[in-house]
Copies of this chain bind each other. A is one copy, B any other.
Amino acid sequence: MNDRFLRACRGQAVDRTPLWIMRQAGRYLPEYRELRERHGFAALYREPELAARVTLQPLDRFDLDAAILFSDILVPAEAMGFRVRFDPGPVLDAPVRSAADVDRIGDVDVEAEVPYVFDAIRLLRRELATRVPLIGFAASPFTLAVYLVEGGGSRRFEHVKALLFGEPETAHRLLDRLTEVTARYLEAQIRAGAQAVQLFDSWGGILGRNEYRELALPYARRVLERISGLGAPRIFFALDLAHALTDVGESGADVIGVDWRLPLDEAAQRLGRPHVLQGNLDPCVLYAPPERIREHVGRVLDSARALPGHVFNLGHGIHPDTPVASVEVLVEAVASASRR
């Protein structure tokens, strides 16, 4: 098996920088759009065979160094009994707005509630056996709380912030419950065969630094602690968190994923302690001509030279209108420019 990705996560020597792409199985691929058209979005992650097929699509096209389970970020919400629709983004029928709503969230047996996730992982491990490692994932407790309280996407995050600022005790109780569910969910993914996991702190960046330290970081850290010692590297993806990178550096993760806002060497400095980093090409670079893509790939690799380890990725999920040809250039550029 190509273990470049796992080796880099552990800070071990590699022949070249490994690469995977956030949302690599997604709408920019015509074969993905075709499956989604035929089966609808929900079936793609709720039916293990389809989830496995979608997961493998980018690997059949590009020489990537890891697979990431195709799933939806709100699966833990489904496991907790929330009804999630897609319109086209996720919408919750009954968002969490009060202390009573929080109290209704009970203990969850994730393996019984969303067995399709773990079935898909087992299926994929068989298919991937001699190819590349499989990454599992979950939203951080705070990010999951944002979805549950807003009831879907948001621009101003008014409901979740009203809760945080207005009823901090209720917010803490909600986060505490989501921490337990998230830890169990990732534990179960690892037990089913996920060889690494990524915790997405996609919305932590909407918080001021004080609130981040109080309401987001401690719960993410607890999740990461709970799944340490299971043999799977733990990646913590911190989006728009340049103001709180020193705090992110205390998450306890094995790898920190960062967005495109800071060069990797500068992100490393702000993190305080040495970390393997993942990232961080601006996904919009893939709209540019090949020579520019190569130039920007070179800059990212340069900024990673002094790190204890580097996993190449975009600084955010790949955009749906990205030309497939640009991804080919990216894959080729990372491989050729990083070969030791």
Minimal beta-carbon separation of A340 from chain B (angstroms): 26
A165 with B288, Cβ < 8 A, contacts A243-B242, A261-B243 known: yes
Q: For A209, what are the chain B residues with a Cβ–Cβ distance below 8 Å?
A: 261-263, 266
CB of A222, distance to nearest CB on chain B (Å): 23
How far apart sit A13 and B209, CA to CA, in the bound complex (Å)? 29
Contacts A209-B262, A260-B208; A285 near B165 (Cβ below 8 A): yes
Report the nearest B residue to A296, measured CB to CB: B165
Report whether A162 and B284 are in contact in the complex, using a CB–CB cutoff of 8 Å. yes
CA distance A103 to B242 in the complex (A): 37
Residue A86 lies at the interface, judged by CB distance under 8 Å to chain B = no
A166 lies within 8 A of chain B by Cβ: yes
| A158-B284 in contact (CB<8A) | yes
CB distance from A58 to the nearest CB of B (A): 20
- The residue in A165, A209, A296 that gathers the most chain B C-beta atoms within 10 A of its C-beta is A165
- Interface assignment of A201: CB less than 8 Å from any CB of chain B: no
Instruction: Please give the count of copies of this chain that the complex contains.
Output: 2
- Among A260, A261, A289, chain B packs the most CB atoms within 10 A around the CB of A261
Residue A282 at the chain B interface, CB threshold 8 Å:
yes
Choose among B164, B284, B289 the residue that contacts A156 (Cβ–Cβ < 8 A). Answer: B284
Which single residue of chain B is at the shortest CB-CB distance from A167?
B288
Quick one: which of A238-252 are within 8 Å of B by CB? 240, 242-244
Enumerate chain B residues within 8 angstroms of A107, measured Cβ to Cβ: none
**How many chain A residues touch B (Cβ–Cβ < 8 Å)?**
35
- Residues of B contacting A288 in the complex (Cβ-Cβ under 8 angstroms): 162, 165-166
Give A161 to B243 CA distance when docked, in angstroms.
23
Which chain B positions have C-beta within 8 A of A263? 208-210
Residues of A250-282 at the interface with B, using a CB-CB cut-off of 8 Å, are 260-263, 266, 282
A214 to B157, CA, bound (A): 31
Docked-complex contact B210 and A165, CB < 8 angstroms: no
A164 CB contacts on chain B under 8 angstroms? 284
Which A residues from 271 to 306 make CB contacts under 8 A with B? Answer: 282, 284-285, 287-289, 292, 296, 299
Extra 12 A-B pairs, beta carbons < 8 Å, given A161-B282, A209-B262, A243-B243: A156-B284, A157-B284, A158-B319, A161-B284, A162-B284, A162-B287, A162-B288, A166-B288, A166-B292, A207-B261, A208-B261, A242-B242
Ordered by A's residue number, 19 sampled pairs between the chains whose C-beta atoms are within 8 Å are A156-B284, A157-B284, A158-B284, A158-B287, A158-B319, A161-B282, A161-B287, A165-B282, A165-B284, A205-B261, A208-B260, A208-B261, A208-B282, A209-B262, A209-B263, A209-B266, A240-B240, A242-B242, A243-B243
